[in-house]
């Protein structure tokens, strides 16, 4: 049998471009705040069929965007963040499905967020931009789906925070979610997870350039804080083994410096990742996204009973975890599975033995991709007349 993974590797959706959708119907957020008007940046790949039943929403996690697959004509190096998963002949096959990627509200890639102009003041929102929740994002995505004429998604798919949005779709819009692909996810964050997020936030909040979030008005950026925040994040996305394999105790130079320059490869890697991130990402967005992660807890309103919380779901689920992911450990995915089983939902659960920690959901792994591929074939059979 030819290896289907290697044979589809080179196919890309090609040149893509982002679109904007403007909404002037106010959106009431979970916090009680109201966004009077807002814009969503999005991309689509493939074609919505005549029955309008082949749409797949791909939800992004912490630092990603609506740019899910393909590349921009003027920036061919900017390949979509899940390009290995989505494209013609890839697991999520754009020759069969109409794929939608949306930059979440509060983001910094084109949707309304802290860098946008607050119509009330004529100045950037900055620190005044309201806090967002997963539920708010899903509600905004649903309005975009209305606009695009998508009544029911064939699937909503995402990893990590993106997986939380899938779960929320199945609860907020059970009739509009045929399948939910919940990958490397958890039904809520553990105390340890919230702790990591809090360290990241404190790094930003205590940066002298933060200015209560109104740094743009002061002509500065809290880059040092954002850099440290990203470094903390990166540590948690990799497994201990993967870090040992990649970096071990390797020194940058042949011997120790006896100063605070980067002695070890891992230090240099974290500094590089932190610097890169701090150059393009917005600190206010980072703060809000980590808070959305922390707040997500569908079982909270049900006394911690996840099965009760997931009772409204009507979707069929594919839940996938990765063995070395300690930030969103397999155990957490099994809790989702257990709650779905109690509700007698269609659910398939796979635990992929992969060494890459949380990052595994973004990487190419034959077992993982073949599974997603087979699952989408099943969806395709189901929706095809």
User: Which active-site residues does the annotation give?
Assistant: 160, 325, 358
Distance CA 311, CA 342 (A): 9
| Other residues' Cβ atoms within 10 Å of the Cβ of residue 326 | 18
> For residue 31, how many other CB atoms are within 10 A of its CB?
13
Kindly report the backbone phi and psi dihedral angles of residue 163, in degrees, each rounded to the nearest multiple of 5, phi listed first.
-65, -35
Element holding 22 (H helix, E strand): strand 19-23
Q: Does 344 bind another protein (CB under 8 A)?
A: yes
- Binding-site size for another protein (CB under 8 A) equals 24
| Residue 101, both tokens | 């990627």
Does the protein bind another protein through residue 236 (CB under 8 A)? no
Scanning 171-179, 209-217, 242-250, 332-340 for contacts with another protein by CB under 8 A, the matching segment is: 332-340
- Number of helices (H) and strands (E), helices first, in the chain? 11, 16
Output 240 or 377, the one with its CB closest to another protein. 377
Through-space distance between the first and last CA atoms of the chain, rounded to whole angstroms: 29
Query: Is residue 56 at the binding interface for another protein, with CB under 8 A as the rule?
Result: no
Q: Between 179 and 288, name the residue whose CB sits nearer to another protein.
A: 179
Provide, rounded to whole angstroms, the least separation between the CB of residue 375 and another protein. Answer: 5
Q: Is 304 in the site for another protein (CB under 8 A)?
A: no
Alpha helix (H) residue ranges in the chain: 4-8, 134-147, 161-172, 191-205, 223-237, 240-246, 265-280, 283-295, 306-309, 330-342, 366-383
- Choose which of 33, 194, 311, 370 interacts with another protein (CB under 8 A): 370
With CB under 8 A as the contact rule, the residue among 20, 279, 374, 384 that binds another protein is 374
Could you tell me which residues come within 8 angstroms of residue 53 by beta carbon, excluding any fewer than 6 positions away? Answer: 152, 154, 178, 383
* Residue closer to another protein (CB basis): 293 or 319: 319
In the complex, minimum distance from the CB of residue 1 to another protein, in angstroms, rounded to a whole number = 12
Binding flag, residue 183, another protein (CB under 8 A): no
What is d(CA 11, CA 9) in angstroms, rounded to the nearest whole number? 6
Binding of another protein by 188 (CB under 8 A):
no
**Phi, psi (5° rounding) for residue 321?**
-130, 170
Does residue 168 touch another protein according to CB under 8 A? no
Site map for another protein, 262-301, x if CB under 8 A? ----------------------------------------
- Select the residue interacting with another protein from 220, 311, 350, 363 (CB under 8 A): 350
CA distance 340 to 187: 11
* Minimum separation from the CB atom of position 350 to another protein (A): 5
Pseudo-torsion of CA 28, 305, 350, 353, nearest 10°? 100
5 near another protein, rule: CB under 8 A: no
Q: What is the largest CA-CA distance in the chain?
A: 69
- Does position 18 interact with another protein (CB under 8 A)? The reply is no
Q: Are 221 and 204 in contact (CB under 8 A)?
A: no
x/- string (CB under 8 A) for another protein, residues 82-111? ------------------------------
- Taking the complex as a whole, the smallest distance from the CB of residue 159 to another protein amounts, in Å, to 17
Residue 335 found at the interface with another protein (CB under 8 A): yes
- Residue in 39, 242, 267, 351 binding another protein, rule: CB under 8 A: 351
Among 128, 199, 371, 380, binds another protein (CB under 8 A): 371
Q: Please identify, among the stretches 27-35, 115-123, 244-252, 341-349, the one whose residues bind another protein according to the rule CB under 8 A.
A: 341-349
CB of 382 to another protein, least distance (A): 9
- 3 contributes a contact to another protein by CB under 8 A: no
Closest C-alpha to 354, from 237, 249, 267, 273: 237
Q: How far apart are CA 269 and CA 236, in angstroms?
A: 14
Q: What are phi and psi of 105, to 5 degrees?
A: -60, 140
Positions touching another protein (CB under 8 A) are 318, 334-335, 337-338, 341-342, 344, 346-353, 367, 370-371, 374-375, 377-378, 381
């Amino acid at each position: 049998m030819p290896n289907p993974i290697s044979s589809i590797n080179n196919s890309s959706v090609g040149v893509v471009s982002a679109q904007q959708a403007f909404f002037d119907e106010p959106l009431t957020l979970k916090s009680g705040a109201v966004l009077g008007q807002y814009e969503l940046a999005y991309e689509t790949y493939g074609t919505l069929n005549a029955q309008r039943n082949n749409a797949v929403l791909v939800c992004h996690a912490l630092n990603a965007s609506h740019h899910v697959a393909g590349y921009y004509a003027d920036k061919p190096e900017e390949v979509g963040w899940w390009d290995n998963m989505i494209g013609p002949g890839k697991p999520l096959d754009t020759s069969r499905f109409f794929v939608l990627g949306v930059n979440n509200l509060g983001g910094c890639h084109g949707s309304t967020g802290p860098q946008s102009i607050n119509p009330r003041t004529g100045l950037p929102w900055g620190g005044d931009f309201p806090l967002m929740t997963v539920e708010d994002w899903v509600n905004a995505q649903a309005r975009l789906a209305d606009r695009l004429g998508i009544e029911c998604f064939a699937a909503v798919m995402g990893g990590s925070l993106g997986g939380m949005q899938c779960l929320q779709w199945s609860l907020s819009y059970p009739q509009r979610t045929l399948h939910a692909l919940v990958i490397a996810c958890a039904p809520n964050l553990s105390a340890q997870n919230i702790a990591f997020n809090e360290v990241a936030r404190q790094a930003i909040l205590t940066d002298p350039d933060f200015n209560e979030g109104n740094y743009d008005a002061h002509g500065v950026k809290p880059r040092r804080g954002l850099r440290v925040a990203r470094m903390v994040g990166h540590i948690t996305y990799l497994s201990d083994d993967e870090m040992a394999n990649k970096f071990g105790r390797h020194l940058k130079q042949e011997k120790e410096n006896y100063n605070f320059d980067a002695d070890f490869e891992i230090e240099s890697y974290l500094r590089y990742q932190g610097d890169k991130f701090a150059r393009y990402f917005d600190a206010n967005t980072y703060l809000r996204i980590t808070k959305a992660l922390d707040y997500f807890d569908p079982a909270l309103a049900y006394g911690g009973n996840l099965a009760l919380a997931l009772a409204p779901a009507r979707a069929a689920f594919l839940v996938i975890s990765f063995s070395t992911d300690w930030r969103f450990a397999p155990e957490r995915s099994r809790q989702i599975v257990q709650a779905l089983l109690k509700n007698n939902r269609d659910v398939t659960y796979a635990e992929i033995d992969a060494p890459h920690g949380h990052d595994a959901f973004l990487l190419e792994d034959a077992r993982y991709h073949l599974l997603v591929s087979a699952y989408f074939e099943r969806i395709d059979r189901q929706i095809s007349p």
